[in-house]
Amino acid sequence: MDFSVVISLGYVVASGLFIFGLKMLGSPATARKGNMISAVGMLIAIVVALLDQGIVEFQWILGGMVVGGAIGAIAARAVAMTSMPEMVALFNGLGGAASLLVGWAALAPDATTFTLVTIVLSILIGGITLTGSLIAYGKLSEKLASGAITFTGQQIVNTLIIAGVVGSAVMFCIEPANTSWLYAVIGLSLVFGIMVVIPIGGADMPVVISLLNSYSGLAACAAGFAIDNNVLIVAGSLVGASGIILTQIMCKAMNRSLSNVLFSGFASVSNEVTEIDGEIKPINAEDAYYILEAATNVAIIPGYGMAVAQAQHVVKELADLLEANGAEVNFGIHPVAGRMPGHMNVLLAEADVPYDQLLEMDEINPRMESVDVAIVIGANDVVNPAAREIESSPIYGMPVINVADARTVFVLKRSMASGFAGIENPLFYKENTRMIFGDAKETLSKLVRELAG
């Protein structure tokens, strides 16, 4: 058989595994298997690409794969679930860095204009993804201020950077021998990545992560054109397209346009302070038990606070006891709960919560009026009724889980501090709301002991 046919067949198999694996990632029940299938596809793609390039001495490549694989395995096992958003941001950044380096390495004296354009695109998008992801990591890990960072003349600076990038890119394509223009594109793209993300508030980070994921795919796609590698083009296109689709889903879930997220931020929408009528009604776990014990329909709404408390396993234990007591239990999952898309799904899947109990916002909201007790665990902005009731609120119009419609609402929080968006929540003052202050895991453990006893 012709060796070129084997190479082409390997690319087709790898591309097919990418597509099939991505399809399986769309369901929690098949996501783990889909991830493994995609990983096998990537391994095949790497091996075939090396053979296609005629590389014979593999020792350095194998050494890099072993070292990189070890780092990835250790990081994946060691990272806490609360730090998963930061790790995803770093992975996006590393993908951008890889595309930047591949595009740079593809530069050759006899490069055509088309190749030069794809090199510039891979470097530009890769550079933006790298530094933008590092800033997102800093905001998510709270090593940087999570709020929007703005300064006077910011738009003018950004405009000058864009003009510089375009001008340098055009000059590089005209005079590829003058590498100063290429270095200018690299430097400006890295600076622009920082400038793009710093004015975006922490509450918008789920959208930013999705968008940066798309950028990393587009950079890989451009790098694929630069080195004429079909499987890299396919893989980059899949990541880019899926990232854009996920970004649109996130924006819809927040009732925000992408342009509003990128060029505005919560801080610029409205800072009007709204006076909320009512008073806080605290309750302890022992008293909450009596209400739960009589409930026949319970909805659990997880948020980032559940991740911080690492309470997902105790939540599963509580749900099992409630079901044994005759209650129907479901979990309401908001698309932007947590600090990355699918954050709550991953946490609950880790605790072996059945997939059919994980209801999306549109599924659980129509049922909320029939819910006896809604338990909000560390969620804030995604259950904030201000989105429906207060027109001056920055999140007005944002789809939220309507827990206020339940007969009784338990809100588990450490304190009365506002959520990641920094917005007051009228839910805490509702007549049917009871606040249970303290560590969520400890509170849930007390409820488990009461129900078990």
User: CA 244, CA 341: separation in Å to the nearest integer?
Assistant: 13
3-state secondary structure at position 2: coil
Alpha helix (H) ranges present in 310-367?
A: 312-324, 343-350, 361-364
What is each CA distance from 29 to 2, 329, 344, 349, 350, in whole angstroms? 40, 19, 14, 9, 12
DSSP string of 265-280, one letter each residue: -GGGT--PPPP--S--
2 is catalytic: no
3-state secondary structure at position 251: helix
DSSP string of 149-202, one letter each residue: ---TTHHHHHHHHHHHHHHHHHHHHH-TT-HHHHHHHHHHHHHHHHHHHTTS-G
User: CA 280, CA 427: separation in Å to the nearest integer?
Assistant: 10
User: CA 244, CA 74: separation in Å to the nearest integer?
Assistant: 30
Question: Please, what is the Cα angle at 76 between 253 and 26, to 5 degrees?
Answer: 35
Amino acid at 3: F
Instruction: From the candidates 228, 381, 405, 439, give the one annotated as an active-site residue.
Output: 381
234 with 249: CB under 8 angstroms? no
Q: Which two tokens stand for residue 184?
A: 């200018």
8-state DSSP, 300: E
Q: Provide the residue count of the chain.
A: 453
Q: Which helix (H) or strand (E) holds 41?
A: helix 31-52
User: CA 202, CA 268: separation in Å to the nearest integer?
Assistant: 13
Q: Which helix (H) or strand (E) holds 437?
A: strand 433-437
By annotation, the residues acting in catalysis are 381
